């Protein structure tokens, strides 16, 4: 980003005056910390010894043979501690908050993975943790809510608006406005005011840096294409940025949802329903109506239904350095089943969008080409949504029986 925190026309800091000094304090602390080799080494050490990095680059021999075309590899962020890429950023920001003398962290979450990661690191570092989560997302992702509470975090349901990620972010900003003296706002995606987009993307870039080394070791060159799902954009930024301006094609896969109608998807690209706007502290492409009001969204995955997108990705797409496509809910479930049954890997529904996009295009590529799909998280958290999508009656019967037995006791 430039000195004003912008990426082309996107980004910046559009915040209330009360937050200005806190934002400037964070910007200064972040710059100083990243110039301190001991801090950088501390972050790397925690990523290795607490989170379990590096994560593997896994070859999918069965899918490669089944689909034909390119050689298919998966970057296994699902094997991080907490089961998702979110831990990379949370470790960095948690250590930064501790360095700044903060005693409390707040976070917003959609799918719940960032909330769990924030609660894990807060417990490890001795920080109070409050997580804001849309009431609708809580219903879809309650297993993650359960674990946040067990880790000592306070989970605050947000019932305003559509009761999803956008609304949780709004509430977290309100909290930060009144608690900034002792609180660090631990944003989970590469959005928000400066320095958050750069900071989150920077901590997440460990994903792409590892792929650079692993691809050379495993097949002697960098990937021809890389696929990542795109909600706010943290996992996509993490795997894409180290490959910008290289020969590797970078492909983002958005939530195509149920249809192209307003409120039925979460596509910020390849649609006339999204355009430049300013909200939630930064400028980017937002889904808006004719009057500039933010639109409701839908995705089968709770983590991809954000109304905006990282200013970094908006700028890269505008420059032609990232190509955006989408996968609808039906394609996502089919991709989930393909990967699960053929490779024994259970992806999150968010990651299944990237799987859908990658597998669709793999067949059009040649056998001497290699593609990497970022598996940003594992599917344990999605068991209820997946069972519902698959119309698994035995699972429904099990839940009814279990709840009935619990009530009887």
Residues acting as catalytic residues:
60, 85
**Listed residue (245, 228, 246) closest to 237, CA to CA:** 228
Bridge partners of 323? Answer: 251
Q: Quick one: which H or E segment has residue 222?
A: none
Query: How many whole angstroms separate alpha carbon 392 and alpha carbon 388?
Result: 6
Written as six digits, the tokens of 215 are: 């691809």
Q: What is the DSSP string of 152-207?
A: TPEEEEE-STTSSHHHHHHHHHHHHHHHTTTEEE---SS-SSTTHHHHHHHHHTHH
Q: Which residues of 147-157 are buried (b: 16+ CB within 10 A; e: fewer)?
A: bbeebebebbb
Query: How many whole angstroms separate alpha carbon 298 and alpha carbon 164?
Result: 10
230 backbone dihedrals φ, ψ, rounded to 5°: -130, 110
Query: How many whole angstroms separate alpha carbon 187 and alpha carbon 284?
Result: 16
Task: Give the 3-state secondary structure of residue 54.
Answer: coil
CA atoms within 13 A on the CB side of 159: 0
**Listed residue (349, 73, 354) closest to 228, CA to CA:** 354
Show the DSSP H helices in 180-310 as ranges. 196-204, 206-219, 234-240
Query: How many whole angstroms separate alpha carbon 157 and alpha carbon 137?
Result: 9
Written as six digits, the tokens of 128 are: 């109070």
- Strand ranges in 39-115 using DSSP code E only, listed in sequence order: 57-59, 71-76, 104-109
Q: What is the dihedral of CA 145, 146, 151, 156, to 10 degrees?
A: 40
Look at the alpha carbons of 374, 377, 382, 387 in this order and tell me if their dihedral is positive or negative. Answer: positive
Look up residue 306 and give its DSSP letter: -
């Amino acid at each position: 980003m430039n000195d004003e925190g912008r990426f082309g026309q996107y980004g910046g800091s559009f915040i209330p005056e009360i937050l200005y000094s806190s934002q400037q304090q964070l910007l200064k602390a972040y710059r100083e910390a990243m110039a301190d080799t001991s801090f950088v080494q501390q972050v790397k050490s925690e990523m290795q010894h607490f989170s379990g990095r590096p994560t593997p680059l896994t070859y999918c021999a069965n899918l490669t043979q089944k689909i034909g075309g390119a050689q298919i590899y998966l970057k296994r962020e699902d094997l991080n501690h907490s089961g998702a890429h979110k831990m990379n950023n949370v470790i960095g920001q948690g250590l930064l908050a501790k360095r700044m003398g903060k005693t409390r962290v707040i976070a917003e979450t959609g799918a719940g993975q960032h909330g769990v990661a924030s609660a894990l690191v807060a417990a490890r570092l001795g920080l109070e943790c409050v997580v804001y989560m849309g009431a609708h997302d809580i219903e879809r992702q309650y297993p993650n809510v359960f674990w946040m509470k067990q880790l000592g975090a306070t989970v605050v349901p947000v019932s305003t608006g559509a009761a999803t990620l956008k609304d949780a972010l709004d509430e977290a900003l309100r909290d930060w406005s009144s608690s900034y003296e002792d609180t660090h706002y631990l944003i989970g995606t590469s959005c928000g005011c400066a320095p958050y987009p750069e900071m989150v993307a920077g901590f997440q870039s460990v994903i792409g840096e590892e792929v650079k080394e692993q691809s050379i070791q495993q097949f002697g060159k960098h990937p021809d294409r890389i696929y990542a799902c795109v909600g706010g954009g943290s996992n996509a930024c993490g795997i894409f940025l180290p490959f910008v301006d290289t020969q590797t094609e970078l492909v983002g896969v958005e939530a195509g949802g149920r249809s192209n109608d307003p409120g039925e998807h979460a596509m910020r690209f390849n649609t006339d329903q999204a355009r430049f706007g300013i909200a939630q502290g930064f400028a980017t492409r937002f889904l808006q109506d004719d009057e500039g009001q933010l639109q409701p969204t839908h995705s089968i995955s709770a983590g991809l239904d954000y109304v905006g997108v990282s200013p970094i990705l908006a700028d890269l797409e505008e420059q032609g350095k990232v190509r955006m496509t989408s996968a609808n809910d039906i394609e996502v479930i089919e991709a989930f089943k393909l990967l699960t049954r053929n490779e024994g890997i259970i992806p999150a529904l968010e990651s299944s969008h990237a799987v859908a996009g990658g597998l669709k295009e793999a067949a059009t590529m040649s056998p001497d080409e290699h593609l990497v799909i970022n598996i940003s998280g594992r599917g344990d958290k999605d068991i209820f949504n997946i069972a519902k999508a698959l119309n698994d009656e035995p699972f429904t019967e099990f839940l009814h029986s279990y709840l009935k037995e619990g009530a009887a006791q």
